Amino acid sequence: MEQNKFHAIGRIARRKDGIAKVTGREVYSSDVTLPHLLFARVLRSPIPHARIKSINTREAEKMGAVCITSEDTPDIKYNERQVSIPEKTYRDRVVLPDKVRHVGEGFAAVAAKTESLAEKAMRSIEVEYEKLPAIFDPYEAMRSGSPQLYDEICLGDTKLPIESNIACHREVGEGDVEHGFKEADLVVEKEFRTGRVYHAQMETKSVVCRPEPDGGISVWPTTQSIHNTRQLLGRIFSISLNKLNVHRVPIGGSFGSSIQMNTCIPICVALALKAQKPVKLVLSREEDMYDHCKYPVIIQLKYGVKKDGTITAGELKTIVDIGGHNIQAYPLLGCMAGWFVSLYRMPHLQFDGTAVYTNKAPGCAMQGYGNPQVSFAVESMIDIIAEELGMDPIALRLKNYVGLGETFWGQGPTVRSVIRSCGVEEMLLKGKDMIEWDQRVSPDKKTGRYRKGVGVARGFHTSGTGAPTPGEVIDYSTAMVKVNEDGSADFSTALMCHGGGTLEAGAKIVAEELGIPIDKVGISPADTRSTGYDVCTHATRGIYCGGASIQRAAKEAKAKLLKFASRLLDVNPEALKIQPREESDQGHIFLPGSLEKHIPVGEVAKMAQYKGWGTAIGVASHRQVNCPPCFVTNFIEVEVDTYTGEIKTTRAVAAVDCGTPINPDLAAGQLEGGLCRGIGLALLESTDYDPETGRLTCGGTFIDYKFYTPVDMPPVDKVKTFFADTYESSGPFGAKGVGEAANNATAAAVVNAIYNAIGIRFAEAPVTPERVLKALQNQPDVEK
Amino acid sequence: MDNTEYLRPSNLKELGQIMAGHKNRATVIAGGTNLIPQMRNGGKSPELIVDIGDIQDFSFIMEDDGFISIGAATTIAEIASSDIVSTFSPILASSARELGNPLIRNRATIGGNLANASPCADTALPLLALDAVIRILSPGDKTRNVVLNNFFHGYRFTDLGKGEIITRIIFPKPDDETTGSQIKIGLRNAAAISVASIAVMLTMEGKICRKARIAAGSVAPIPMRVSRVEQLLENQEISATLLEQCKAIMKKEISPISDIRGSAEYRSYVTAVILERNIQRALS
């Protein structure tokens, strides 16, 4: 199928939420206001590890504040992320604990009539802490005799003892690696580390709750999954789901920070239930930075290769410092194994991952879910191998990549599917020309203060977590499409748009399927009562999985519409077609080849109403049975100032194989955004902790937490993006995902470019000017 | 913040009266980009805030009789886009363009940047190199002038006494033989606080440097002039050997600390690098 056959798919259209967003009229959680609203503040630990011996809230209550502590909240262990099946869900936390495990962990909360009164009341609470020894290094944490964060937690509903602070461990193997290494002509081994990056999503986590007269509660939260938020709240507070309504609210960015039901949500619900009034809780930036971060990893990577570049074996061992709570480390380790296995073919492979508790803010998914970290190591290593073998890095990649017809692990070992569309070669070869790869010279031929280098890295992400058999991860979506009586249509789904245009894509899918203009498709507000289950908008599944359910619902609505039209036109419904017509600004149903047999969509819907035939409506609840990889390739040029260690990014080519790009402009924007975050991971970002106080050294604000910005990016005309020309037959109109793929290859491309500039291999991110300068001072040939 | 009083005088006379009458408790606010975060963090809790945002004649950039005068409440954005500043003191214009982000530049004022007396105050360095003078309004309607080099006494501690307020900044128009350069090292381009920065003004007579002004930021408790380097340069031909000497002296004169933005070692090293680069740029 060719793209130019589409009238809506691939069209650049005005965003439906664009005007509201740029004029400040969009209503985010923190903008939701209700009569008699109270404002909440959470009392958070200044100590990294402590038992709360006593809490005195008398002063706060005298001020008129409603207060809650662990005694007022259900003693039910939960895990805020509910994407895995219960048997694979590690539950280690409660709404308000009596033991805190990192600075910034909340253990009491207040609600009062004004924000300042709430703040004052919160500060008046007297707390007696029993300080416990804290631990910040994962290796130290695993040592026997180290302070323990937990004695036991729950795996599903079963008690699970915790030893040596090991939250979970996962081993995956195929073949015999020792044998594979023996077959190799060259064995390379190296340790890689990535930083504890903060999501830095624009909107801090927020929530508004309103207790309802029937004993239920309505919630307006920052979340990527309204249904999981509802289910978790129902379980924690024993509220029947039909009385628990969670509204979809536009989200101010996420990068994965709200896959889970954020911990501020049940705290706010508990306050609202006690106060019997609506309560709003908006986290400060500092609170948000103490709430979550990207998983930092230490990776020991080993490959065996033949002289011709064929990989014979691969082994990846990783330690992940997950912080004070296990939000999703088990699936993370599985995914890391999957990313490793699916990058390059290895007849023999071994993965060994350990997630370790420390007294820091918990790690959670962040754009790529372990993939940028694994790709950082693997793609650095591929360049190392290429140099050792005297091969071109692109040729080595082309020789070994996992592609068409091969098996791909989309979400760990239990979610596998066969690759049916692949643009890897196209992207590497076209990108190579665009960056003028052939003019690249080796670092030893470079002189002068400023040295430029070009690097390449490739990668992919899964599109969703669907597979032919049910795995340990839940994945399906539900959608409803209906045709209105004027020829317009509405669709509803619990999918979320994080800013990348997921719902815009939904509208285009409906428009394309129904044959009506994009402008005539409305995105319905969604809440858990009026939509069917959708797992979560995560895992780059929005368009591929969510969009597929929308397409199926639209097909059903279309079938009904054509049935009605067939009665009116006296034509077999299967002979009819729909196309938008400019002159009437709606879709027209017609019999090809006939001048008389045609009727506007609105006319059909209206007649169906008058005649009592019903509404042309379709509902679909659908699981994709694949998780096709959306491949990505980055070429980046850097300029290293050998006098100061500063690194500028000067040119970039970013390409993605997302199948049919449904929103080409927004998908290109995602590529640029992914580059920006990926460069930040490589050069700038990490939340470090002071081992004395257990606090963030950046203080929890953007004054000293710096991420890469548009001003730091290469000039606009030096950033080129393109799409591989592929069609994924299992996706809606040939589409796969983009989101996370966009940033998975970037950090490796940056360090490969730095190597090409100055001949120094950095295996630890971020590569700060200080690290560069220190490394350069050991290089004799660089003038200082 | 609950018990803070707030006054907003509409002219200089009212301001003078308020400052004199409440000299022990008044804290002046202009853009608020320093004070508000300090109050939020609980570091400062002023009894009385005096907002100078309504005062006419407090925001101006004038060229007059060989001098440039800038009103204390002139925003950094106004300085960054001023033709007068760009023409006569490009290093002040460029340092203003590198301060904070557009939101901060639209609110922050030059008086506030100096009064806050942070070692990383971006505008302090070019102003030190330009031999700027600060005009101060004292209680009793008195006015006094302080050379900027004598204004910073210690870490966030200035020559401003109780009830005093900066009204304008004045510096002589550099002559045709004088050129400058300014470099700030930050962790990124956007909204970065300097890790180290230097501003340089050199007056040349042929190959001989007649006058040198070197100011360094983020490498000592205050934004500082580095007189020993200046003396080394003055009345000398600037050679590669001399630059090496300057770099060595520079490292001795500064006293950087290690913090999240950079280690003392790195700061010391790059300060010398950007000193050399600044001098070369000023001469080119």
- Cβ contact (<8 Å) for A643 and B189? no
Q: Are residues A15 and A60 in the same domain?
A: no
Secondary structure of residue A739 in the 3-state scheme: coil
A397 and A308 assigned to the same domain: yes
Looking at the complex, does the CB of residue A448 fall below 8 Å from at least one CB of chain B?
no
Cβ–Cβ gap A698/B189 under 8 Å: no
pLDDT band, very low/low/confident/very high, at A2 (cuts 50, 70, 90)? very low
B71 CB contacts (<8 Å, ≥6 apart)? Answer: B57, B58, B59, B60, B61, B111, B167, B168
Give domain status of residue A352, yes or no: yes
Give the predicted TM-score (pTM) of the model. Answer: 0.95
A416 sits in which H/E element: strand A416-418
- The closest of B277, B200, B215 to B243, measured between CA atoms, is B277
- Whether the CB of A200 is below 8 Å from some CB of chain B: the reply is no
Cα distances from A245 to residues A219, A226, A234, A449, B97, in angstroms, run: 6, 9, 10, 61, 49
How near does any CA of chain A get to the CA of B250, in Å? 16
Minimal C-alpha gap between A207 and chain B (Å):
22
Nearest CA in chain B to A772: B266
- Residue type (1 letter), A559: A
The verdict on A434 touching B (C-beta cutoff 8 Å) is no
Question: How far is it, in rounded angstroms, from Cα A497 to Cα A465?
Answer: 18
Interface list for A 630-659 with B (CB within 8 A)? 643-646
Contact B189 A684 (CB under 8 A): no
Two tokens at A394? 């692109």
Partners of A703 on chain B (C-beta within 8 Å) are: 37, 193
pLDDT of A4 > 80? The answer is: no
Q: List, in sequence order, every beta strand (DSSP E) within A162-198.
A: 166-174, 186-193
Distance from the Cα of A712 to chain B's closest Cα (Å) equals: 5
Look at residue A263 and tell me whether its pLDDT is greater than 90: yes
Instruction: Give the chain B residue nearest A707 (alpha carbons).
Output: B188
Q: Residue B17: which residues within 8 A CB-CB, separation 6 or more?
A: B9
Residues of A in contact with B264 (CB under 8 A): none
CA distance A266 to A94: 9
Q: Is residue A119 part of a domain?
A: yes
pLDDT exceeding 90 applies to what percent of chain A?
96
Q: Are residues A359 and A455 in the same domain?
A: yes
Nearest alpha-carbon partner for A501 in A6, A114, A2, A11: A11
Contacts of A706 in chain B (CB under 8 A): 187-188, 192
Question: Which of A644, A685, A713, A768 has the most B C-beta neighbours within 10 Å, making it the best mutation to test the interface with B?
Answer: A644
Half-sphere exposure of residue A549: CA atoms within 13 angstroms, side-chain side: 31
DSSP A607: H
B66 φ, ψ to 5°? Answer: 85, 0
Report if residue A612 sits inside a domain.
Answer: yes
Q: Name chain B contacts of A709, Cβ cutoff 8 Å.
A: 188-191
DSSP string, A86-150: GGG-EE-B-SS-SEE-STT-EEEEEEESSHHHHHHHHHH-EEEEEE------HHHHHSTTSPPS-
A750 touches A180 (CB < 8 A): no
**Cβ within 8 Å, pair A643-B266:** no
Would the CB atoms of B273 and A643 count as touching at under 8 Å?
A: yes
ipTM for this prediction: 0.89
Distance CA B257, CA B266 (A): 10
Residue of A243, A279, A284 lying closest to A110 (CA atoms): A279
Closest listed residue to residue A58, CA positions, set A67, A49, A45: A67
What token pair was written down for A367?
A: 């754009």
A259: three-class secondary structure by DSSP? coil
How far B166 CA sits from the closest chain A CA (Å)? 26
Which residue in chain A is spatially nearest to B191 when comparing CA positions? A703
Kindly report the nearest CA distance between residue B260 and chain A, in angstroms.
7
Evaluate whether A66 touches A267 at the Cβ level (below 8 Å): no
Q: Do A644 and B273 touch (CB under 8 A)?
A: yes
Inter-chain residue contact B193 with A120, CB threshold 8 Å: no
Instruction: Tell me how close the Cα of A155 comes to any Cα of chain B, in angstroms.
Output: 39
Residue A409 lies in a domain: yes
Has residue A187 been placed in a domain?
Answer: no
Cα gap A85→B208, rounded to integer Å: 78
Q: Does A693 touch chain B (CB under 8 A)?
A: no
Residue A578 in any domain: the answer is yes
CA atoms of A335 and B120, how far apart (whole Å): 44
The two beta strands, A106-112 and A38-44, are: antiparallel
Query: For chain B, what is the radius of gyration of the CA atoms?
Result: 19
pLDDT in tens, B152-197: 999 999 999 999 999 999 999 999 999 999 999 998 888 888 999 9
Q: A65: pLDDT confidence band, cut at 50, 70 and 90?
A: very high
Interface test with A, best of B273, B276, B277 (most A CBs within 10 A): B273
Residue B133, pLDDT score = 98
Out of A552, A587, A622, a domain closes at A622
Q: What residues contact A649, with CB distance under 8 A and at least 6 apart? A: A636, A637, A638, A639, A679, A712, A713, A714, A750
Average model confidence (pLDDT) across chain B: 94
Domains in chain B with CATH codes: 1-174 (3.30.465.10), 178-283 (3.30.390.50)
Which CA distances in Å does B268 have to B8, B218, B220? 43, 10, 10
- Strand ranges in A236-384 using DSSP code E only, listed in sequence order: 244-246, 279-282, 297-305, 311-323, 348-357
Count CB neighbours of A313 within 10 A: 24
Other beta carbons within 10 Å of A571: 19
How many domains would you assign to chain A? 3
Rounded (5°) CA angle A223-A226-A227? 140
> For residues A573 and A597, what is the distance between their CA atoms, to the nearest angstrom?
12
H or E element, residue A9: none
The verdict on A355 and A313 lying in the same domain is yes
d(CA A762, CA A449): 19
| A684 interaction partners in chain B (CB closer than 8 Å) | 187-188
C-alpha to C-alpha distance for A195 and B166, rounded to whole angstroms: 44
Nearest-CA distance from A698 to chain B in Å?
7
Residues A93, A235, single domain; the answer is: yes
* A306 and A407 housed in the same domain: yes
Residues A334 and A436 in one domain: yes
Structural tokens at position A274: 């006690």
Give the gap in angstroms from C-alpha B44 to the nearest C-alpha of chain A. 16
| Rg of chain A taking only CA atoms, in angstroms | 27
B-interface mutation test, from A123, A285, A646, A708, most B Cβ less than 10 A away: A646
What is the residue range of A679's domain? 297-468+626-777
Contacts of B192 in chain A (CB under 8 A): 706
State how far residue B148 is from chain A, nearest Cα, in angstroms.
Answer: 27
pLDDT of residue A648: 97
What CATH number did the domain enclosing A503 receive? 3.30.365.10
State the residue for tokens 């002296």: B249
**CATH number of the domain residue A40 falls in:** 3.90.1170.50
Instruction: Collect all residues with Cβ–Cβ distance below 8 Å to A403 and sequence separation of at least 6.
Output: A419, A422, A424, A425
Of A305 and A784, the one with more pLDDT: A305
CB contact under 8 A, A697 and B263: no
Is A175 within a domain?
no
A771 and A716 in a common domain: yes
Structure tokens at A241: 């789901």
Beta strands at A186-193 and A206-211: parallel, antiparallel or unpaired: unpaired
Contact A461, A629 (CB under 8 A): yes
> Is A709 close to B193, i.e. CB distance below 8 A?
no
The average confidence (pLDDT) of chain A is 96
- Is pLDDT of A780 > 80? no
Q: Does the distance separating the beta carbons of A643 and B2 come in below 8 Å?
A: no
Digitized pLDDT (tens) for each residue of chain B, 284 residues in all: 567 899 999 998 899 899 989 988 999 999 999 999 888 877 888 999 999 988 988 999 999 889 999 999 999 999 999 999 999 999 999 999 999 999 999 999 999 999 999 999 999 999 999 999 999 999 988 999 999 999 999 999 999 999 999 999 999 999 999 999 999 999 888 888 899 999 999 999 999 999 999 999 999 999 999 999 999 999 999 999 999 999 999 999 999 999 999 999 999 999 999 999 999 999 98
**Predicted confidence band at A583 (pLDDT cuts at 50, 70, 90)?**
confident
pLDDT digits (tens, 9 = 90+) for A369-423: 999 999 999 999 999 999 999 999 999 999 999 999 999 998 899 888 899 999 9
Q: Would you call B60 an interface residue with chain A, using a CB distance cutoff of 8 Å? A: no
Flag if A644 and B274 touch (Cβ within 8 Å): yes
**Among residues A481, A552, A548, which one has the least CA distance to residue A521?**
A481
For residue range A475-527, list pLDDT tens digits in order. Answer: 999 999 999 999 999 999 999 999 999 999 999 999 999 999 999 999 999 99
Q: Which pLDDT does position B2 carry in this prediction?
A: 64
pLDDT, position B127: 98
Contact call for residues B192 and B274 (beta carbons, < 8 A): no
Best probe of the B interface among A709, A713, A750, A776, by most B CBs < 10 A, is A709
Look up residue A239 and give its DSSP letter: -
A193 assigned to some structural domain: no
Closest CA–CA distance from residue B243 to any residue of chain A (Å): 14
Largest CA distance in chain B: 62
**Same structural domain, A364 and A457:** yes
Contact B200, B182 (CB under 8 A): yes
Distances (CA, A) of B223 to A471, A546, B85: 61, 57, 21
Distances (CA, A) of A134 to A149, A198, A448: 8, 22, 48
Pair (A14, A59) in one structural domain: no
| Same domain, residue pair A583 and A480 | yes
How many of the other CB atoms lie within 10 Å of CB of A781?
Answer: 11
Q: Which residues of A touch B263 (CB under 8 A)?
A: 770
Q: Which of A120, A644, A703 sits opposite B185 (nearest CB)?
A: A644
Contacts of A123 (CB under 8 A, 6+ apart): none
DSSP collapsed to 3 states, chain B: CCCCEEECCCCHHHHHHHHHHCCCCEEEECCCCCHHHHHHCCCCCCCEEEECCCCCCCCCEEEECCEEEEECCCEHHHHHCCHHHHHHCHHHHHHHHCCCCHHHHHHCEHHHHHHCCCCCCCCHHHHHHCCCEEEEEECCCEEEEEEHHHCEEECCEECCCCCCEEEEEEEECCCCCEEEEEEEECCCCCCCCCCEEEEEEEEEECCEEEEEEEEEECCCCCCEECHHHHHHHCCEECCHHHHHHHHHHHHHHCCCCCECCECHHHHHHHHHHHHHHHHHHHHC
CB of B191 within 8 Å of a chain A CB? The answer is yes
Measured in whole angstroms, how far is the alpha carbon of residue A755 from the centre of its chain?
29
Using alpha carbons, list the distances in angstroms from residue B209 to A254, B178, B181, B203, B278: 56, 10, 15, 6, 14
CB atoms within 10 A of CB B162: 13
pLDDT confidence bin for A781, thresholds 50/70/90 = low
| Sheet strands side by side (includes A577-581) | A577-581, A586-590, A598-600
Q: What is the pLDDT of residue A512?
A: 98
Which 211-250 residues of chain B touch chain A by CB within 8 A? none
Residue A782 reports pLDDT greater than 70? no
The tokens for A317 are 């061992």
| The last residue of a domain, from among A622, A646, A669 | A622
Helix (H, G, I), strand (E, B) or coil at A509: helix
Nearest to B73 by CA among B114, B131, B127: B114
- Statement: residue A3 has pLDDT above 50: no
Residues A507 and A420 in one domain: no
